[in-house]
Structure 1
Amino acid sequence: MSSLIIFDFNKDSNLSNWNVVDDGVMGGLSQGNFEINKEGNAVFEGTVSLENNGGFSSVRHRFDTQKVKGFTKVLIRLKGDEKKYQFRVKTNSYDRYSYIAHFTTTGNWQTIEISLSEMYPAFRGRNLDLPNYPTETMQEIAFLIGNKKAEQFRLEIDKIELK
């Protein structure tokens, strides 16, 4: 099977379907920002604060339902800051829970490879007693940082695709 491009960033990318969601939804003070840099890559950066029971920043992309049956992995070309992040998917953007995989960046450009079948369901940091990602449909992807510490973060993203 070939690949399915979820998003390939460039200088003309429309980010209107990308939304930053910080812990401010619960009273926290973390702040994330998402924009295209001069090289045409997306940059998700900001500060995670633990004040007021905070501790995370995320950016999510909602899109029309994609049929993903037959794909086994997601490949993400990115450059991080040697910190740990989560990549999340939802089969339905209205689901309260996400399917999650963790990855750690090296500080250099790298291609993160995540097995879709190993992505586990969780909601607000709690693992759920449900099967792993069924790899049938996808309506949302997200990146989240929440390492239980106050920190600056920067994740530069080139391309997200399924194989």
Structure 2
Amino acid sequence: MTTTPIPTAASGSGVLFDFAKPQSVTGWSSIDDSVMGGISKSTTKWDETDGSGALLFSGLMTTEQNGGFTSTLGPPDRSLGQVAAGAKALGVNAIGDGRTYVLQLRADQSGTDRWIARFTPVTKPDGTTGNLISIPLQSFAPVDRFLRPATASAPLDPANIVQISVYLIDEQVGNFRLAINQITAIR
């Protein structure tokens, strides 16, 4: 999948998460591979860079001791689907570290269907501003709770999104840092 930078003032978008203020990260939490015996470690907190707020997801990912993933999970919220209804893509405005991250959506009425798509935000030369990456909804693939390919109970409908999470997987070991300014629904 190719992610395409788009202008930051995308018309026809609805804001799902805006991390401009410290309280905007309330409900987000890190879950790491320690649930499987691994020793990867991440934190999720608010950070301000050059006057712009962001959810900062950072830490160390290792494959030692059966490890190999870190994640930050957003709070379950049925109003996400109301904002995302009719979207053709999701936009992630972020400053990355060259790694490829996974955006996971939980959808359907019970929130049991999971969908993922990969995205790679980069650090701009000045190191200060993020880029808005458009991830088309048709690029999201259904997965099970272990992020393995699965069969969805129904096609992905953005109106049924109830949770958004970000993962670092695929044996991308080492220190990582992802600052997300905003997640939007693009129509």
Q: Same fold (TM over 0.5)?
A: yes
CA distance in 2, matches of 1:49, 1:61: 23
Normalising by structure 2, we get a TM-score of: 0.79
Corresponding position of 1:129: 151
Q: Which deviations, in whole Å up to 9, do the C-alpha atoms of 1:3-25 show, x marking residues without a partner? A: 22111112333422101110111
Partner Cα separation in structure 2 for residue 95 and residue 64 of structure 1: 10
Cα distance, 1:133 vs. partner? 2.0
Q: 2:19 touches 2:182 (CA, 8 Å); kept in 1?
A: yes
Specify the alignment match of 1:74 in structure 2. 90
The answer on whether the counterparts of 1:99 and 1:132 sit within 8 Å (CA) in structure 2 is no
Q: How far did residue 93 of structure 1 move?
A: 9.2
Aligned partners of 1:37, 1:15: CA distance in 2, in Å?
Answer: 10
Letter aligned with residue 101 of structure 2: Y
Structure 1 gap ranges (5+): none
Note closer, same or farther for the CA distance 1:18–1:93 as it changes in structure 2 (3 Å cut): farther
User: Does structure 2 retain, via aligned residues, the 8 Å contact 1:76–1:159?
Assistant: yes
Q: Which amino acid aligns with 2:48?
A: K
Which residue of structure 1 aligns with residue 182 of structure 2? 159
Corresponding residue for 1:6? 16
2:105 matches 1:105: no
Once the two structures are superposed, the pairs formed by residues 11-90 of structure 1 within 5 Å of their partners are 11-39=21-49, 40-65=53-78, 66-67=81-82, 68-90=84-106
User: Closer, same or farther in 2 for the Cα pair 1:158/1:26, shift >3 Å?
Assistant: same
* 8 A contact 1:62–1:93 mirrored in 2: no
Aligned residues: 163
Do the aligned partners of 2:111 and 2:162 also contact (CA within 8 Å) in 1?
no
Distance 1:96-1:54 versus aligned 2 partners, 3 A rule: farther
Root mean square deviation, CA, Å: 2.0
Structure 1 segments of 4 or more deviating over 6 A? Answer: none
Q: Return the offset for 1:152.
A: 1.1
Q: How far apart, CA to CA, are the structure 2 residues paired with 1:94 and 1:17?
A: 19
- Partners in 2 of 1:103 and 1:56 — Cα distance? 16
Contact preservation (8 Å) 1:86, 1:144: yes
DSSP 3-state at the match of 2:157: coil
